[in-house]
Amino acid sequence: MTSRRLAVAARCVAGGGLVAFSMPPWGWWPCAFVGLAILDHLIAVPSRWHRFRRASLFALAWLMPATLWMWALTPPGYLVVGPLIAATLGGLVALVPHGPGRRPSLVAVVVVWELVRWSVPFGGVPLATLAMSQVGGPLLPTVRVFGPLLLVALTVTVAMGLSGLAQRQPAVAGLAAGVVILAVALAAVAPRAEVVGTLDVALVQGGGEQGTRAIDTDPEDVFDRHLEASELVELPVDVVIWPENAIDTPDLLENTAKWPVLTDLARRLDAVLVVGVTEDISDTAFVNSQVAISPEGDSLDRYEKRIRVPFGEFVPFRSFIEPLAPDYLPRRDAAEGRTDAVLTTPVGDLGVAVSWEIFFARRAVAAVDDGAQILANPTNGSSYWLTIVQTQQVASSQLRALETDRYVLQASPTGFTAIITPDGDVLDRTAVSERAVVQGTVELREGKTWAVAFGPWPMLGIAVVLVAIGEGLRRRDRRPRPRG
């Protein structure tokens, strides 16, 4: 490789690395603007092949560090998913014109790329998304307008403004600033949900060693830890939430010896108790549910997880992949749930997005459409090393809170457990591995933000307009200049 190619490759890695370190847990959000500005310079070349390679390497340097936690969960998944998603961005960027139409087209391309990876491959892999990088930045409130895709578009727009400044194009920087100011102004006047009541909530974190797989853990120990932690709940309280997978049974929960223990706990707390349970339904499948128990000890409602973790809860192409890495794959697949996204209780309608589902805007929107007045994210991050996935999950909960204008209650067995306000503020986040109960008074809310009411369609329309603008600028640039 020539020195010039090495220099270009280094710039690709540096740009993508800057975006990676704008993500949680690092959270250096301005780095995303600089990294994307570098990408703009890198793709200002005529060759589509060069644009593909540079954007793919850029995305690889972004995704592989920011999803490193996947290695402990599934090395095959880590090695497959990152390069696949990176190549997808490279393919889209290859279609971007290299001349004056490059910048509006790049904004559109990144928006479309982020939307696509919420759905494919394997039902969607929205890891280390650009919107997550900005949860600590000033643009976060714009999520209420047209959702996280608007935040993505604005992040790229700011980067294009920086790129214009670097190339002494003040008009580009001025236009970018105008777009951002307009979006921030819209966020200030966008409709919000109406407060209809309050709840006293308690989120139970049983504690235990971080980085422990379920296969290496006695389910009885996990159950006992959460029972013991529940003694820390301060009364009175309306709702007590246990994390995902706090209970593991070979049968329907109501038919096990744990059921009377849980109903007795609900009666002693005089609260709705929501517990996470995995139940075997066959030798090859299980169901992942949240079950609500009334203060009188009756079964109220249940939600079954609908979006499953690829390579973690189900194995795509199992017959092909399992012989290659049998020790790194789950032996059984989670069944896809079919229930509504809300637990109906006497104290309010609780929308549920279990663990992985909080990364998907469509699950929070579905919950609000089903009448959710508050959102819960019971999760289980105990098997993941480091804190990359846990902090990115908190960031996703912040995005869901903003776009729905609801409180989000995140409960985890080993951390992080937290209450997130509709403004995206994180309250009382626990430490990893500690036994703790997070309590607070939260609001029940009704009504829809624009982000919920319109979904991704406005941003798709804006992306189409930006592509058309980019194409128009490209054609104008190719017109022959008059001589004279």
Range of the domain at 318: 194-448
Other CB atoms within 10 A of residue 14 CB = 14
**Tens of pLDDT, residues 219-241:** 788 899 999 999 999 999 999 99
Amino acid 414: pLDDT: 87
Amino acid 43: pLDDT: 95
Residue closest to 303 by CA, chosen among 389, 241, 392, 394: 241
Euclidean distance between CA atoms 235 and 413, whole angstroms? 21
**CA distances from residue 195 to 192, 348, 358, 443 in whole angstroms, order as listed:** 10, 12, 23, 6
Q: Are residues 31 and 74 in the same domain?
A: yes
User: What is the average pLDDT across 249-257?
Assistant: 91
Alpha-carbon radius of gyration of the chain: 24
Q: Are residues 279 and 348 in the same domain?
A: yes
In this prediction the pTM is 0.92
Contacts of 484 (CB under 8 A, 6+ apart): none
Q: Are residues 187 and 235 in the same domain?
A: no
The 3 state secondary structure assigned to 153-197 is HHHHHHHHHHHHHHCCCHHHHHHHHHHHHHHHHHHHHCCCCEEEE
State the average pLDDT for the chain: 91
- Has residue 215 got a pLDDT over 60? no
- Has residue 467 got a pLDDT over 80? yes
Amino acid 322: pLDDT: 60
Tracing tokens 């997005």 back to the chain, one arrives at: 353
Q: Are residues 103 and 199 in the same domain?
A: no
Tell whether 484 is covered by a domain: no
Which range is least confidently modeled, 293-297, 389-393, 479-483? 479-483
Which range is least confidently modeled, 194-208, 228-242, 306-320, 470-484? 470-484
**121 close to 81: Cβ distance less than 8 angstroms:** yes
**CA distances from residue 344 to 246, 362, 373, 421, 439 in whole angstroms, order as listed:** 21, 20, 10, 21, 21
Q: Are residues 77 and 202 in the same domain?
A: no
Amino acid 70: pLDDT: 81
Tell whether 80 is covered by a domain: yes
Positive or negative, the CA dihedral 304, 306, 311, 315 is: positive
Q: Are residues 311 and 353 in the same domain?
A: yes
- Has residue 74 got a pLDDT over 80? no
The β-bridge relationship of strands 418-420 and 426-427 is antiparallel
Q: Are residues 80 and 199 in the same domain?
A: no
Residue 24 φ/ψ, nearest 5 degrees: -60, 145
Cα within 13 Å of Cα(379), Cβ side: 33
Q: What percent of the chain has pLDDT over 70?
A: 93
Question: Helices 30-42 and 48-66 meet at what angle, rounded to 10?
Answer: 160
Please count the structural domains in the chain: 2
- Has residue 89 got a pLDDT over 90? yes
User: What is the average pLDDT across 460-464?
Assistant: 95
Other CB atoms within 10 A of residue 354 CB = 27
Residue closest to 149 by CA, chosen among 164, 166, 165, 132: 132
Amino acid 324: pLDDT: 59
- Has residue 484 got a pLDDT over 50? no
Contacts of 327 (CB under 8 A, 6+ apart): none
Which range is least confidently modeled, 266-280, 319-333, 351-365, 398-412? 319-333
Which range is least confidently modeled, 315-319, 385-389, 409-413? 315-319
Tracing tokens 């609801």 back to the chain, one arrives at: 406
Euclidean distance between CA atoms 331 and 284, whole angstroms? 7
Amino acid 134: pLDDT: 97
- What the block records as the tokens of 39 is 């990408």
Tell whether 8 is covered by a domain: yes
Amino acid 54: pLDDT: 96
Q: Are residues 326 and 266 in the same domain?
A: yes
Tell whether 483 is covered by a domain: no
Amino acid 216: pLDDT: 58
Amino acid 38: pLDDT: 97
Collapsing DSSP to helix, strand or coil, 311 comes out as coil
- Residue 260: left (phi > 0), alpha (psi -120 to 50), or beta? alpha
**416 close to 394: Cβ distance less than 8 angstroms:** yes
Q: Are residues 209 and 174 in the same domain?
A: no
Q: Are residues 355 and 434 in the same domain?
A: yes
User: What is the average pLDDT across 189-195?
Assistant: 96
The 3 state secondary structure assigned to 196-213 is EEEEEEEEEECCCCCCCC
Beta strands in 422-477 (DSSP E): 426-427, 436-446
**73 close to 311: Cβ distance less than 8 angstroms:** yes
- Has residue 323 got a pLDDT over 80? no
User: What is the average pLDDT across 266-288?
Assistant: 92
Q: Are residues 182 and 241 in the same domain?
A: no
**Tens of pLDDT, residues 132-173:** 999 999 999 999 999 999 999 999 999 999 999 999 999 999
Q: Are residues 132 and 49 in the same domain?
A: yes
To the nearest 10°, report the CA torsion of 302, 308, 309, 311: 130
Amino acid 387: pLDDT: 84
- Has residue 198 got a pLDDT over 90? yes
**Domain with 220 in it: what CATH number?**
3.60.110.10
Helices (H), 370-432: 388-404
Tell whether 113 is covered by a domain: yes
Euclidean distance between CA atoms 439 and 418, whole angstroms? 9
